[in-house]
Amino acid sequence: MAEFGGRVRSVWLRTVSLSWPIAIQQTFNTLMRTVDVIVTGLFSPAAVAAVGLADLYAQIPLRVGLGLGTGAIALSSQDTGRGAKATRNRAITQALLIGVLAGIPLTIVGLTVSEPLIALLGAEPGVAEMGGRYLGLVFAVAPMRIVGLVGARSLQGTGDTRTPMLVNVGANAVNIGATVGLGLGLGVLPELGIVGVGLGTAISRTLEGGAITAAIAIERTAPSFARPRSLTITRQLVAVSLPNFAEGMSTSLANFPFNALLLTFGTDVTAAYHIGRRSYQQFSGPLYRSYSVAASVVVGQELGDGRPDDARFSGLAMTALSVLTLSFAGGVLIVGASPIAGLFTTDPATLEYAATFTRMFGVSMFFFGFFFPLSGSLRGAGDTRTPFYARLTGTVGFLLGFSYLVGVTFGYGLPGVYAGIVLNYAWWTLVVGAGFLWGGWADTAATMLSERASDPN
């Protein structure tokens, strides 16, 4: 028992060492989005809805970056574990190049059809106009957004979680200052409203992408750029990244009909949902995201070092720590729902709905505690299909299907929607839990490692 406790403590200490810079990074990242919502909330509930609807599309470059970042962190952590620096550097370089190419079409879309995309969701003309302006600016810098995400994940895979933290915190500090200054017109700055909020995002993402690229290029960090020449690496990057991209997009795409469903209950309900979502992401997002990344790093490196049993133990130990801390965070959201929601709006109807959504997300934190470290462990091994299946089936079956059936068809209204959201997260947990306990993710990692080791390039 003493040996078991010592192993658990060792994993927890390693998790904390890797996680705290990621948690700080994610705190500032979510704080940036929170400030966006707070500033737009000073304009009107319609402005909040406009940014919320635009963010549905803005998740596309996010998902591309996270998808490629998942491939980069899997290969980077595994190759770090086995000491294959040249292969690791080629994988990082190729992931960044693919990210730049993937972002260019999004820039074109953002500059041409932003407003019609918002209107397509059923938004009122004024909401569509505001959302279109914001979205155009966000999409304009999509390549840099993707590069920033992929570069950060690449460095994290090597065990360096501090450099991405410093880059991200600096960029988001600029974002927050620009959002407040340009959005509200403080001091000598012009008052640009929602355009100022979008400009703040565009400026910071450009700075972040440039800084993370420079960090990889200099000798201060472990990886460096290398000439891409391995089709095996390209194939593995795509094979790992695509399911993760599809996983994220299954949730993001489902948000379109889901927000259309919310709009049938009113603009104030839609704004309240985005406030509740922003609340839980601000207060608990840094925790569950840091656990997910730390699990990918630890499991990937232990698999690369040929220790699958240790990788399994570490994944379970990190999950235990995650459940404990996220359950506590969920309790804080439940108890403090009204004052937390009050930070974003003073509109009475919106505030009441937002507090209820915040409590609902607080209940869901228990399931988040399981899902994110387990899915992160699977991704570190290169198994991105299981988390994809979990999100796809849960999103279609519960977030959309159950919410519409119970909330609209059976006439239970918003309580049916609340239940659908919680059941969605519970299903995610069930599927990835089964995949981690009984899936062949260790064999997947072993196959990938063998292919790269035997690649003559």
- pLDDT, residue 434, reads 96
Q: Which has the minimum average pLDDT: 25-39, 58-72, 346-360?
A: 25-39
Task: Reply yes or no on whether the pLDDT at 457 is more than 70.
Answer: no
The mean of the pLDDT values for the chain is 88
- Exposure on the CB side of residue 88, measured as CA atoms within 13 A: 27
- Give per-residue pLDDT as tens, 306-353: 899 999 999 999 999 999 999 999 999 999 998 988 887 778 888 888
Which of 26, 146, 160 has the alpha carbon at shortest distance from 95? 146
What pLDDT band is residue 134 in, cutting at 50, 70 and 90? Answer: confident
Residue 419 carries which side chain, given as an amino acid letter? Answer: A
Report whether 71 contacts 382 (CB < 8 A). no
- Counted residue by residue, the chain has a size of 457
Which of 32, 283, 59 has the alpha carbon at shortest distance from 174? 32
Task: Reply yes or no on whether the pLDDT at 250 is more than 90.
Answer: no
Dihedral of the alpha carbons of 274, 378, 385, 262, in degrees to the nearest 10: -10
What pLDDT band is residue 1 in, cutting at 50, 70 and 90? Answer: low
Query: How buried is residue 166: exposed, middle or buried, by Cβ count under 10 Å (0-12/13-18/19+)?
Result: middle
Mean per-residue pLDDT for 282-300?
90
Residue, of 411 and 127, whose pLDDT is higher: 411
Residue 221 DSSP class = S
- pLDDT, residue 383, reads 93
* Alpha helices, DSSP H, located in 305-346: 308-335, 337-341
Biggest CA–CA distance in the chain, Å, is 66
Dihedral of the alpha carbons of 417, 419, 423, 426, in degrees to the nearest 10: 120
Sign of CA dihedral 141, 143, 144, 148: positive
Mean per-residue pLDDT for 372-384?
94
Residue, of 85 and 374, whose pLDDT is higher: 374
- pLDDT, residue 46, reads 77
For 289, list phi and psi in degrees, rounded to 5: -70, -40
Beta-carbon contacts of 274 under 8 Å, excluding residues fewer than 6 positions away, are 37, 48, 49, 51, 52, 55
